[in-house]
């Protein structure tokens, strides 16, 4: 009778499992743990290999993912322990004895996971934010199988995630693959929630953190709705069933940063919202198309053991930033002067970095894994592919318009890339952006593309603006030179240095990670707070007042003293060119033509 019962249960389990990998995640807010039970169907005796990612999509920095996995144990359906080997820091090999479910149990920290959002900074017990790559193990060679996850959260806490819910099962969600599961963060806790509906789809705003009650809820709701409406209009629809904005709100400071996901984003921002904050929201939301659907072929399905190599990050991040400036203007949220200010800001960022003369946009992307001592960062190799890509995007957009008398633009390239990649089709090849620029802009776009994207050197911003009926005016400005730039890595990796020059030459080295500035330790600080301290030291530098840094270099801490010097730099403004031809003026007006405000 007992043997018959076991056989019947085994048959029932096999019929219901359907090769679905199941996760149960208990949020233990008291001990600051995610307690994970992972059930994996196995068809025969053998070796089952599981791993945890060493990097997260969108955050191009290697981490020791295994360091966040604790007390892993494995058993079969009867509860008998199975033998587990641990051949690598992020890999476990399990000796299975027969077909049936294999049950893994382990826990990870709710803070300090290092893969975006809630994985940084001091513990705030009012909320928990789960980042998938730092929590979920995957079965090697089985990442394409369907997954199910159930969240067990403290009583009264909501469960907010972009995954599709399972009918009739509380806080249970499904994902078609591990990649989709891992790319959907979850928020819970004492959070503030706002919602809006657009094009028949629900959008949820989650406000968590110490500043959640200080932020202007009406303004953040208005800005999120504007961005959603403008960009779904630009693309012609939304590629998701529902969307979640996960906001960790700090009570002080300015600025913010984020990490994009398939149907959500994790953003850390200050409660002091500024007009420029719309650009941050627009950047992360634009990634729904450009990165998550329009992607280089190596950016999904993912190899989580090593960083991907693609020369297209300047397009995926920098051109996203370009549209995150252009669309708020185009749809009536920004003034023209605000957009002009973005041109100048990106020019200044590049001109402050001598690597612009030796590193192309393609190389800044392709070689990002060489940064930070070979562990990578989320900014670029020696120079930011955000700023560089922004300027390359402007150059390509204006050149396509000039070559075709306004018949085509960079919009056509972006939409063509989306049509090639949407609906889970393979990502584009490395030369595809160039091919499409030539397709829409004509043969002259080939060598032009090479000059601005594939070759280092100054970008022809003044010449391109002139073709749009504008002129770049320049005058010198006195300032204090600190000799280095701060290079944040929002996916983890600390505050690096870049653009080393003048007073920092011979003192700082590429790959240095700043751990202290002017006696203030950056340890345990949120990335936004850390970058704020370094930027304040740079922008507030004074001649005669040293900047005292402690940097991590080759595993050791090194004290560095920078003595700022007086210097001058060019300051740019963009204005209408009175000498422009009617044709140039027409091209410029078409480029910066405003649409009616996005449908609300």
At residue 600, does pLDDT exceed 60? no
Q: Are residues 342 and 412 located together in one domain of the fold?
A: yes
> What sign does the CA torsion over 530, 533, 536, 537 have?
negative
* The pLDDT of residue 522: 87
CA distance 118 to 124: 10
Q: What total of structural domains would you count in the chain?
A: 4
Tell which residue, 245, 272, 278, 273, has the closest CA to residue 259.
Answer: 245
Residue 554 lies in a domain: yes
Q: Are residues 302 and 273 located together in one domain of the fold?
A: no
Q: Are residues 282 and 238 located together in one domain of the fold?
A: yes
Which comes out higher in pLDDT, residue 3 or 261?
A: 261
Look up the domain containing 402 and give its range: 298-469+577-591
Q: Are 273 and 219 in contact (CB under 8 A)?
A: yes
Q: Are 407 and 338 in contact (CB under 8 A)?
A: no
Q: Are residues 52 and 174 located together in one domain of the fold?
A: yes
| Neighbour tally for 106: CB within 10 Å | 22
Mean pLDDT of 395-409: 98
Which comes out higher in pLDDT, residue 523 or 121?
A: 523
* The pLDDT of residue 352: 86
Residue 599 lies in a domain: no
Q: Are 69 and 35 in contact (CB under 8 A)?
A: no
* The pLDDT of residue 526: 63
The 3-state secondary structure of 297-336, one letter per residue: CCCCCCCCCCCCCCCCHHHHHHHHHHHHHHHHHHCCCCCH
Residue 33 lies in a domain: yes
Q: Are residues 343 and 455 located together in one domain of the fold?
A: yes
pLDDT digits (tens, 9 = 90+) for 440-477: 999 999 999 999 999 999 999 999 999 999 999 988 98
Average pLDDT, the chain: 91
Residue 311 lies in a domain: yes
Tell which residue, 265, 270, 276, has the closest CA to residue 250.
Answer: 270
Q: Is 263 helix (H, G, I), strand (E, B) or coil?
A: coil
* The pLDDT of residue 511: 81
Tell which residue, 169, 378, 229, has the closest CA to residue 291.
Answer: 378
Which comes out higher in pLDDT, residue 430 or 16?
A: 430
- What are 247's two structure tokens? 């906001």
At residue 114, does pLDDT exceed 70? no
CA distance 465 to 577: 9
> What sign does the CA torsion over 557, 558, 564, 570 have?
negative
pLDDT digits (tens, 9 = 90+) for 194-219: 999 999 999 999 999 999 999 999 99
Q: Are residues 37 and 80 located together in one domain of the fold?
A: yes
Angle between helices 410-421 and 217-235 (to 10 degrees): 80
* The pLDDT of residue 11: 42
Q: Are residues 382 and 527 located together in one domain of the fold?
A: no
Band (pLDDT 50/70/90 cuts) for residue 120 is very low
At residue 553, does pLDDT exceed 50? yes
* The pLDDT of residue 196: 97
Range name among 115-124, 428-437, 502-511, 513-522 with the lowest pLDDT average = 115-124
Q: Are 551 and 584 in contact (CB under 8 A)?
A: no
Bridge partners of 201, per DSSP, are 198
Mean pLDDT of 170-189: 97
Bridge partners of 85, per DSSP, are 93
Mean pLDDT of 262-287: 93
- What are 124's two structure tokens? 């705030």
Band (pLDDT 50/70/90 cuts) for residue 55 is very high
* The pLDDT of residue 305: 96
Q: Is 48 helix (H, G, I), strand (E, B) or coil?
A: strand
Q: Are 398 and 410 in contact (CB under 8 A)?
A: no
At residue 330, does pLDDT exceed 80? yes
Classify residue 218 by burial, with Cβ atoms within 10 Å: 0-12, 13-18, 19+.
exposed
Helix (H) or strand (E) run with residue 559 in it:
strand 556-562
Residue 600 lies in a domain: no
Tokens 């190389």 appear where?
363
pTM metric for this prediction = 0.87
Q: Are 8 and 107 in contact (CB under 8 A)?
A: no
Residue 597 lies in a domain: no
């Amino acid at each position: 009778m007992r043997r018959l019962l076991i056989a019947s249960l085994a048959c029932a389990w096999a019929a219901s499992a359907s090769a679905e990998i199941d996760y149960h995640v208990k949020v233990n807010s008291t001990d600051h743990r995610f307690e994970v039970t992972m059930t994996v169907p196995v068809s025969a005796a053998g070796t089952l290999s599981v791993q945890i990612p060493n990097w997260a999509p969108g955050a191009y920095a290697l981490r020791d993912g295994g360091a966040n996995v604790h007390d892993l144990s494995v058993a079969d359906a009867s509860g008998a322990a199975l033998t587990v080997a641990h051949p690598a820091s992020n890999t476990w090999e399990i000796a299975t004895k027969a077909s049936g479910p294999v049950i893994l149990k382990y826990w990870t920290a709710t803070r300090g996971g290092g893969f975006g959002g809630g994985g940084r900074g001091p513990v705030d017990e009012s909320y928990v934010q789960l980042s998938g790559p730092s929590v979920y193990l995957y079965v090697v060679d089985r990442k394409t199988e369907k997954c199910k996850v159930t969240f067990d959260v403290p009583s009264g806490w909501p469960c907010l995630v972009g995954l599709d819910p399972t009918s009739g099962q509380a806080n249970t969600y499904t994902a078609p693959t591990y990649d989709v599961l891992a790319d959907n963060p979850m928020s819970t806790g004492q959070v503030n929630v706002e919602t809006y509906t657009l094009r028949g789809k629900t959008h949820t705003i989650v406000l968590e953190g110490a500043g959640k009650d200080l932020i202007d809820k009406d303004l953040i709701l208005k800005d999120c709705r504007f961005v959603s409406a403008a960009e779904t209009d630009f693309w012609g629809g939304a590629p998701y069933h529902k969307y979640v904005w996960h906001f960790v709100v700090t009570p002080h400071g300015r600025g913010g940063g984020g990490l994009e996901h398939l149907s959500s984003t994790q953003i850390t921002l200050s409660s002091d919202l500024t007009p420029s904050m719309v650009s941050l929201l627009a950047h992360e939301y634009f990634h729904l198309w450009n990165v998550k659907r329009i992607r280089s072929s190596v950016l999904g399905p993912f190899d989580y053991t090593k960083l991907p190599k693609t020369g297209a990050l300047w397009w995926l991040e920098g051109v996203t930033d370009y549209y995150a400036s252009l669309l708020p203007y185009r749809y009536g949220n920004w003034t023209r002067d605000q957009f002009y200010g973005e041109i100048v800001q990106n020019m200044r960022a590049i001109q402050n970095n001598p690597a612009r003369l030796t590193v192309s946009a393609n190389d800044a992307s392709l070689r990002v894994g060489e940064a930070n001592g070979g562990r990578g960062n989320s900014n670029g190799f020696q120079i930011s592919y955000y700023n560089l890509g922004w300027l390359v995007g402007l150059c390509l957009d204006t050149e396509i318009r000039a070559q075709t008398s306004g018949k085509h633009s960079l919009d056509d390239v972006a939409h063509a890339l989306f049509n090639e990649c949407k609906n889970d089709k393979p990502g584009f090849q490395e030369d595809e952006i160039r091919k499409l620029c030539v397709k829409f802009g004509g043969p002259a776009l080939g060598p032009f593309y090479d000059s601005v994207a594939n070759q280092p050197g100054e970008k022809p911003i003044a010449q391109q603006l002139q073709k749009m009926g504008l002129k770049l005016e320049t005058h010198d400005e006195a300032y204090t030179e600190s000799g280095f730039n701060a290079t944040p890595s929002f996916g983890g990796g600390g505050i690096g240095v870049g653009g080393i020059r003048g007073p920092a030459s011979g003192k700082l080295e590429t790959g240095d990670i700043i751990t202290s500035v002017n006696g203030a330790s950056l340890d345990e600080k949120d990335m936004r707070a850390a970058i704020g301290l370094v930027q304040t030291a740079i922008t507030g530098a004074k001649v005669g007042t040293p900047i005292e840094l402690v940097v991590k270099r080759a595993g050791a801490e090194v004290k560095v003293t920078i003595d700022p010097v007086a210097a001058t730099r060019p300051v740019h403004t963009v204005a209408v060119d009175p000498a422009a031809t009617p044709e140039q003026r027409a091209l410029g007006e078409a480029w910066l033509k405003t649409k009616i405000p996005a449908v609300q």
